Amino acid sequence: MMDVGRHSNIELLTYSEVEDISGYIGNFKARIRKKARYVYEEHCTSCGDCVEVCPVVVPDEYQIGLGSRRAIHIPFPQAVPSAYIVHAEECMGQNPIACGKCIEACEKDCIDFAMRDEIIDVDVGTVIVATGMEVYDPTPWDEYGYTRFPNVVTSMEFERLISTGGPLKGHLERPGDLKHPLRIGFIQCVGSRTQDPERGNPYCSNFCCMNTIKSTQYLNDTYPDIESTVFYMDLRAFGKGFEELLMRSKGNGVRYVRGLPGDVREDPETGDLRVTVENTTINRLEEHEFDMLVLAVGAVPATDTELVRQMVSLSKSPSGFLKEAHPKLRPVDTPTKGVFIAGAAESPKDVRESVTQASAAASRSSILLNKSEFSVEAITAVVDEDLCKMCGQCADVCPFSAIQWAKKEVAVVTSAACAGCGTCAAECRFDAIEMRHFSDQAIYAQIDAMLEDDPLNTIVTFACNWCSYAGADTAGVGRMAYPPNANIIRTMCSGRVSTDFVWYAFRKGAPVVLVSGCHYVDCHYIDANRSTTRRLDGLWDGLEKADLRPDRLLLEWCSAAEGGRWQTIMQEAEKRRQTATLEEVEQTRSILAEARTPSPRNPRARDEGSPAAFVCLRCGHSWDGIYQGNVERMCPQCRSNSVRWLRKRGR
């Protein structure tokens, strides 16, 4: 950090936070709040006179609450700049000044309570998100007595206890009575690798095993009189030199017991801890006694990660960490062009992995910044200004904020930010948006071709390019046999599937229509498949209102690696196809022919002035009226625009 502070090409804004990021690749605008330090950092010499007279004492976050600090302090020893900060919410009073002792003690006149936060607007070409991680709080999981026994500490608290810069100045003592411990136990996987959401997270936190092994080796080198015991499920020492360090730790006498403790009790007189554990290696119940117990806590996403994710439109994994564009081919890229991730923002990492990924993100960023132009795939959206009604619905559903819209203005697509998912085109009820290379006419033509001969034996399938289509390819490469009835229409995203495509397929005689995309939390386009779910919910309601069987429309999620799942999906779709009779298919065609669904040659053609029954595909509300273009295409009950009409059939 000191090197960063000295670098002539780096502007380091400390004690600041990003409030907003807008724009697109090469043209991002960031609004940063530089908080008031109430100390002029360029004049402060870190003499410490102000700290000595400050009467406010609070727990020190840097020491994990094991030490204390004043309201005016340096955040941590290596902080840049090395100047003091006054926390306004902790100070006894600034306006009016209730104390002012620090001002009187400062000979350099560095303290000024009149300072205010500063808002800085900067233009940047790329963004690197490195929000880091936080450690799991074991308080809810009190099985090991963390909140009841003072000599049970977390691995982070143990790091501060043995550190020379910690509250004990490097002299290891247990917190309960400040006695030197001779027997220390380490419990692994606290808050990690559990299926109980109240007790932690299902993922492995990566660094916990090696952190414990390092701690035991440090104790052996520094305090040879201490006996260490490690309780574990599995030891994961997969990095360079890690297995050697594990063998060295075992060779130095550290005992490793395969099994997690089931009970921890405290001796009220001595403060010692008794641990009961089943040693699964020898199938024996054991009891151990320790002076101190260390819980190897896992990692969780940083608190600010979700806020930053929303600013720059990023995906997140089920664990809450940010999701990369591709785990192997683009490990630091994100779905949003020009935004990269590094370090523990993507997943729990140790220092070496974080540095490696940070270097990769910096390299990817510099490649873009050195370009005068940026090329995009020709699959972006195009707005027809003559047809745009300036409703703004396309801008609402765009996961990348690539559509700019203001009231009484035509929507404008920023091609550099558009990823070509097609959600906006499927959502536009005025057919004012066309997708390059994935146009409505091309999709209608594919439906016509696959249902031209023997439609009763055909399953019309819309598959997302990144997951479902690739999953079908995986099934084929793996020689996984499944019914060959499915004809696949590839779309970039399941969000591209318009309701008109489904109605038209049924109108042409399709017995079953399948829409498949990425898993709900793994969408390649952040959250575009949420629009798919909402749209199909409306379609199922519409089928019921039209007295048609809704289970002929299927929605399934499948990833690129799940060839076996694709096989199962196809087998289930074939079972549904076999239940659709010729009479049912012909009835569907007849009903939808009267409903006057869009024509494939002119999807915008409508007959006006005819009696119609209107159905809201979102809430299911229905009403009668006269079709007059787009006048009556808003539901009077839920104000939704997802409305379809059927020619009056005298029901």
What pLDDT was estimated at residue 154? 95
Return the domain boundaries, the chain.
Answer: 134-300, 381-435, 440-594, 611-647
Q: How do 27-34 and 118-124 pair as beta strands?
A: antiparallel
CATH 3.30.70.20 fits 381-435, yes or no: yes
Instruction: Choose among 204, 176, 211, 194: nearest CA to 260.
Output: 194
Q: How do 403-404 and 412-413 pair as beta strands?
A: antiparallel
What pLDDT was estimated at residue 301? 94
Could you read off the pLDDT of 151-170 as tens digits, one per residue? 999 999 999 999 998 999 88
Task: Retrieve residue 405's tokens.
Answer: 């819209």
Straight-line distance from the first to the last Cα atom of the chain, in angstroms, rounded to the nearest whole number: 75
Domain 440-594 - what CATH class?
alpha beta
With a cut of 50, which residues of the chain have pLDDT below it?
Answer: 597-607, 630-632, 647-651
Instruction: Choose among 523, 130, 132: nearest CA to 332.
Output: 130
143 CB neighbour count, 10 Å cutoff: 14
Instruction: Choose among 221, 121, 225: nearest CA to 183.
Output: 225
CA 582, distance to chain mean position in Å, is 46
338 CB neighbour count, 10 Å cutoff: 25
Domain 134-300 - what CATH class?
alpha beta
What pLDDT was estimated at residue 73? 93
Task: Retrieve residue 569's tokens.
Answer: 């999906």
> The whole model's pTM is what?
0.80
What pLDDT was estimated at residue 649? 33
What pLDDT was estimated at residue 322? 92
At residue 186, what are phi and psi to the nearest 5 degrees?
A: -120, 130
What pLDDT was estimated at residue 605? 38
What pLDDT was estimated at residue 618? 58
What pLDDT was estimated at residue 627? 60
Helix residue spans in 223-265 (DSSP H): 242-251
CA dihedral 30, 36, 39, 45 (to 10 degrees): -30
Helix (H) or strand (E) holding 525: none
User: 378 exposed, middle or buried (CB, 10 Å; 0-12, 13-18, 19+)?
Assistant: exposed
Give the integer Cα–Cα distance in Å for 451 and 463.
17
